[in-house]
């Protein structure tokens, strides 16, 4: 990749991170810390998985080194204990988390485990550098996200 294009992409990534920072920090609400915790977690997941998917789709130029960094960060963030953000009573407030999470916690935990496994496989595929393997891992990771969203994420805030 030509150096000016690489610098432009790196600058765009930094600009996107800076632009998103107020959105994430603005959601750190001391009245609803558990909702803030899980919303921040999912924002970080999206900021790492989104560009990977865009690269695989050809929406942004392919840069294996950048993709590997995002995949590594995605795998790392999925290892955080998200479940502490879903303590009893945190289903109310500024949230898109459907009450079904608390009614089906075992299934929800299983779906989170699927996401962790998919993110780990994506990180391994990225390390290998094979575009076809990366594309398959992106598909699996997106499927893990969708499985949870379909059942447990409302399109709009519930409360």
pTM attached to this predicted model: 0.80
Whether 28 has a pLDDT exceeding 80, the answer reads no
Whether 3 has a pLDDT exceeding 90, the answer reads no
Comparing 13 with 146, the larger pLDDT belongs to: 146
Q: What percent of the chain has pLDDT over 90?
A: 76
Calculate the alpha carbon distances from 113 to 15, 108, 116 in Å.
Answer: 32, 9, 5
Phi, psi of 30 (to 5 degrees): -65, -20
The pLDDT value recorded for residue 26 is 46
* pLDDT, tens digit (0-9, with 9 covering 90-100), for 70-129: 999 999 999 999 999 999 999 998 999 999 999 999 999 999 999 999 999 999 999 999
Whether 34 has a pLDDT exceeding 60, the answer reads yes
């Amino acid at each position: 990749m030509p150096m000016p294009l690489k610098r432009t992409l790196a600058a765009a990534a930094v600009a996107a991170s800076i632009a998103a920072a107020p959105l994430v920090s603005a959601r750190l609400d001391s009245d609803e810390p558990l909702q803030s915790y899980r919303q921040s977690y999912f924002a970080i997941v999206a900021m790492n998985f989104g560009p990977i998917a865009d690269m695989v789709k050809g929406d942004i130029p392919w840069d294996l080194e950048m993709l590997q960094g995002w995949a590594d960060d995605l795998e790392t963030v999925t290892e955080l204990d998200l479940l502490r953000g879903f303590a009893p009573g945190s289903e109310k407030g500024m949230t898109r988390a459907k009450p079904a999470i608390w009614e089906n916690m075992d299934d929800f935990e299983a779906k989170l485990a699927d996401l962790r496994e998919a993110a780990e496989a994506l990180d391994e595929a990225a390390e290998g550098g094979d575009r076809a393997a990366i594309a398959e891992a992106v598909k699996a990771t997106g499927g893990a996200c969708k499985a949870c969203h379909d059942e447990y994420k409302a399109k709009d805030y519930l409360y």
